[in-house]
Amino acid sequence: MKVNIWSDIRCPFCYVGKRKFEKALNQFPEAAGVQVEWHSFQLDPSIETQADRDPFEFFAEKKGIPLAQAEMMHTHAANAGKEAGIDFNFRNQKVANSFKGHLLIQLAKTRNRANEMEEALFKVQFIDAKNIDDEATLIETGELVGFTVEEVKTALQSDELAYAVAQDMQMASKLGINSVPFFVFNDKYGVSGAQQPELFLEILQKSWQEFSAGDKGLQIIEGDRCDAEGNCD
């Protein structure tokens, strides 16, 4: 059975959702039979990397909201992170475009290491507070996941991997996905947002029982998420 996950490494709730889904999967007796496939979804493809900008001020300016409101929204995400065992380092995070990071995720998919790459890039963005648009940072991250310097450099210039990113985005559009994280279980159940492990486990169990039925109809369940405009709630 396959679980498809659309995610952006700039999305804090995607990191939270990954942890909560993994907790459910670890409790699922048939976990060995579940194939997880990660898909690229850029929340804001047009964002310009500004590694020296204050992240809260940038967010407030982009959304046209008071700084205090921007900080409060990050506090909500920080609390969600603590619940999932993540200590977000929002104050020091870098304002950076995520496209190059998605190229590494697509590279990792060719070696069945996408989950490891997702985790490594989330850590770079939200814990280490490094620039995910910086080549040296991406080379270091790629090496940690098992890729050579040359493999990472080639990936960052790859039209084929860029096309794979575009295909993931196009697939999301066709499915009506406009916010992440978004989980699709066995092409039947769509789960939007960083849901609790108990719900993920329930959907895993139900999907496992029904996955041979071939029903492609989606049932959307809403939760904490970030949309295509970069709004997180």
**CATH code of the domain in which 74 resides:** 3.40.30.10
Say if residues 232 and 13 touch (Cβ distance below 8 Å): yes
Q: Is residue 71 part of a domain?
A: yes
Q: Is residue 154 part of a domain?
A: yes
Structural domain harbouring 50? 2-227
Alpha-carbon span 56 to 17, nearest angstrom: 22
Q: Is residue 232 part of a domain?
A: no
What dihedral do alpha carbons 183, 111, 211, 222 form, nearest 10°?
0
Q: What is the pTM of this model?
A: 0.91
Q: Output the CA angle 46-119-39, nearest 5 degrees.
A: 55
Q: Residue 233: CB partners within 8 Å, gap ≥ 6?
A: 73, 76, 224, 225
Alpha-carbon span 86 to 80, nearest angstrom: 8
Structure tokens at 122: 């989330």
Q: Is residue 203 part of a domain?
A: yes
DSSP letter, residue 229: T
Alpha-carbon torsion 165, 166, 167, 171, what sign?
A: positive
Q: Is residue 17 part of a domain?
A: yes
Question: Which residue bears the tokens 């190059």?
Answer: 100
Alpha-carbon span 28 to 202, nearest angstrom: 9
Three-state secondary-structure class, residue 179: strand
C-alpha dist (Å) from residue 58 to 43, 54, 64, 70, 200: 15, 6, 10, 9, 34
Q: Is residue 233 part of a domain?
A: no
Alpha-carbon span 203 to 222, nearest angstrom: 14
Q: Is residue 9 part of a domain?
A: yes
Q: Residue 34: CB partners within 8 Å, gap ≥ 6?
A: 1, 2, 3, 25, 28, 204, 208
**How confident is the prediction along the chain (233 residues), in pLDDT tens digits per residue?**
999 999 999 999 999 999 999 999 999 999 999 999 999 999 999 999 999 999 999 999 999 999 999 999 999 999 999 999 999 999 999 999 999 999 999 999 999 999 999 999 999 999 999 999 999 999 999 999 999 999 999 999 999 999 999 999 999 999 999 999 999 999 889 999 999 999 999 999 999 998 766 665 556 666 777 765 566 76
Say if residues 184 and 192 touch (Cβ distance below 8 Å): no
Three-state secondary-structure class, residue 94: coil
**Domain count along the chain:** 1
